[in-house]
Structure 1
Amino acid sequence: MGHNHHHDHDDHSHLSGIELRVRALESILVEKGYVDPAAIDALVETYEVKVGPRNGAKVVAKAWADPDYREWLRTDATAAIASLGFIGRQGEQMVAVENTPDQHNMVVCTLCSCYPWPVLGLPPVWYKSAPYRSRAVLDPRGVLAEFGVHLPETTRIRIWDSTAEVRYLVIPMRPDGTEDMSQEALAELVTRDSMIGTGLARQPEAMR
């Protein structure tokens, strides 16, 4: 299963009706020279990878650093996330699930592409693809391996299926050697994929 993170202009099999109409409109605007496809790709990449996931990274970093907030996030994620100002459509009902040495959590939407926009921005193309949506359930360990994540056989993998009513945020495990780091520095270790469960938090030495 490929997991290209860029704006895909060729494979439309995973798109909904409204997404197909948007893509058709985009094609017309490009053909008439009104918009630059490279600019569109850059904009999508910004909201997929940079701007959107920064909100979630702040949530995770605060949970790592503040035990009281971490417990609040685990028991009422919607309110805990809203307290940081991250609210809005696609984030009305949030559930946070925490990775441990014994259990790794991974999020998928098997029916479409439900995704927590307020904390993760726009969903990446691979998240919406049929191969990910099916294989994440049938072969989660194999999918993780394709993302470069290799877990011990003793670690249980639990799949959470997002719906129109409930969306999930994975709290990745805090890397060792980060005890003296500020919340701002901790947030830099949190990746979008680690909050979906298809990745792990960065190691602090990787940021040097």
Structure 2
Amino acid sequence: VLAEQAGWRVLCCERGRARQINAGVEAAQAPLACVVHADSLPPVDMVAVIRETLADKRIALASFTPLITGTRTRWLTSAHNYIKTWYAPLVTRPHLFFRGVRLLFGDHAMFFRREDFLKLGGCTPGDMVMEEADLCVKFARLGRIRMVPRIVRTSDRRIAALGPLKANWIYFKVGILWAVGLRGRMARDYPDVR
């Protein structure tokens, strides 16, 4: 309602982040798209950074660098999320790691060329979790994946609700389930804290 009152176009679709991302990118009219979660705050010059980054045709997909914050800044989880972009592909998709591919996740505010997203088939429709990791694997066929050194601030509500140890254990467990192809279990093991 707030978005509509502000004059924004609001889309409705079936539940599920993958379906929502697909619907949003499909409805977009600009050549570049950015997936920003509702609990994330990108930098004020987001559009300029996206244009500048994707002007390099070698880059297929990019993101901002997430900082988990809210009740307080979660430095350890933020650092782990940064490191995970390297070790996750090393553990789960070593052939991509050795090509320099990073796995980016929802808190990163990923951006890409709309045409490439549609050509690759977008997100796997039923995915409720880890849809961005799948996108990284798909986009790796088209070029480099890069995280720009600009901060996107993301809510720490999950960590605040579950505690840092439990939240990070869940992130790790869901990543392993994704790596071994147990998609049906991922959403069950990733509780909604809203």
TM-score normalized by structure 1? 0.28
Larger radius of gyration: 1
Higher strand share: 2
